[in-house]
Amino acid sequence: MDEPSGPGASWVAGTADQLLDTEFPPMRFLVEGLIIEAGLIILGGKKKLGKSWFALQLARCVAEGTDFLGLSTSEGAVLYVCLEDGCRRLQARMKKQDFPRGLPVEIRTEFRCLDDGGLEDLRNLLEQDPKQLVIIDTLAASMSGRSDENSSRDMGPLMNKLRRIAQACDSAILLVHHHGKAESSGNAGDDLRGSSAMGAAADCYLGLYKRSNGFELEAEGRDIEELSKSISRDRECCLWTVSMDAKEQSRHSLEMRILQLLEEGPTGKADLKRRLWSNGDKGVLNDALAQLEKDGKACCREERTDGRPREVWELS
């Protein structure tokens, strides 16, 4: 039976029984539940949405081993191939995001085109100096012009080779790409500009979308659960953060209103319900009170009136 050619390579050949008997290590994530450690990822979105800011922040979080959008990361070295923005603009963005010194992030603003020797250069580089994460920003800028991104004959083999390099070198390779001009479907893979062969070859697709109430990150892939996060970008530091969804905002609002009422003094649950709404959901109130108690913001004691016990809530 053929052996894998690298730490991230897959089982290659053998009998069905041999495959059934093979023990594979558990799936490892670069970003928990979002980006696998050894695979090809495509980040797409319309122009000027902040994809490069997103990629730079991801590079920093992986190099630091800190959470990215509230998700844990696997710490490691990063290669950032920035082919569109140039040194001056990239430096300005790093300063804007308060990029720390001393991180294991290698930056290149020039690289041979992927379809003209760049694939071989990338594999050689990763074999000699392994990286946990490789970011290529953007896919279009990494092409020579001889390859047509709308051609499956051109893009299919290129994407498959990139994925095999990611697997063989145990690296996550993230390509920054654009969504097409057509109306977005909201599907991170289908909305990518160019041949569908690109999406078919990738292990995971991330899509940035501008919504009426903010931004949305959509993710799908072979080895991850479909994910949708409401996110926002800080205007001052340009860092992406997770926003509350409508349900979370409603729950947070209810908790704040309860705390405001408790500031006026100890209150029974029935009185809370009456003052908050006339025909409210008792279960929602119970959940909110339980969360406030868990967070140490409110507490409950029993009070007897006319011999009957009564729950009274007050600030902790």
Q: In terms of domains, do 34 and 169 share one?
A: yes
Query: Is 3 within a domain?
Result: no
Paired tokens of 93: 């963005």
What pLDDT, on the 0 to 100 scale, is given for residue 4?
40
What pLDDT, on the 0 to 100 scale, is given for residue 46?
93
Query: Is 99 within a domain?
Result: yes
Q: In terms of domains, do 191 and 271 share one?
A: no
Angle at 206 between CA 45 and CA 106, to 5 degrees: 90
Mean residue pLDDT of the chain comes to 88
pLDDT in tens, 80-139: 999 998 899 999 999 999 999 999 999 999 999 999 999 999 999 999 999 999 999 999
Q: In terms of domains, do 257 and 236 share one?
A: no
Per-residue pLDDT for 245 more than 70?
no
Q: In terms of domains, do 293 and 228 share one?
A: no
What is the C-alpha to C-alpha distance for residues 54 and 105, in angstroms, rounded to an integer?
A: 15
Per-residue pLDDT for 153 more than 50?
yes
- Tell me which residue of 244, 228, 208 sits closest to 53, measured CA to CA: 208
Per-residue pLDDT for 3 more than 50?
no
What is this structure's pTM? Answer: 0.75
8 A C-beta contact, residue 175 and residue 136: yes
What is the C-alpha to C-alpha distance for residues 204 and 148, in angstroms, rounded to an integer?
A: 22
294 vs 118: which has the higher pLDDT: 118
Paired tokens of 142: 């990494």
H-helix or E-strand spanning residue 215: strand 214-221
Ramachandran class of 146: left when φ > 0, alpha when ψ lies in -120 to 50, beta otherwise = alpha
Query: Is 9 within a domain?
Result: no
Q: In terms of domains, do 38 and 149 share one?
A: yes
Structural domain ending residue among the three candidates 242, 257, 275: 242
Query: Is 8 within a domain?
Result: no
Residue with tokens 């490892």: 28
- Tell me which residue of 175, 189, 209, 163 sits closest to 83, measured CA to CA: 175
Q: In terms of domains, do 110 and 258 share one?
A: no
Q: In terms of domains, do 301 and 187 share one?
A: no
* Sign of CA pseudo-dihedral 35, 219, 56, 101: negative
303 vs 55: which has the higher pLDDT: 55
Question: Which residue range(s) make up the domain with 181?
Answer: 16-242
Angle at 195 between CA 193 and CA 201, to 5 degrees: 105
DSSP-assigned beta bridge partners for residue 137:
82, 176
Per-residue pLDDT for 5 more than 50?
no
* Confidence band, pLDDT 50/70/90 cuts, at residue 1: very low
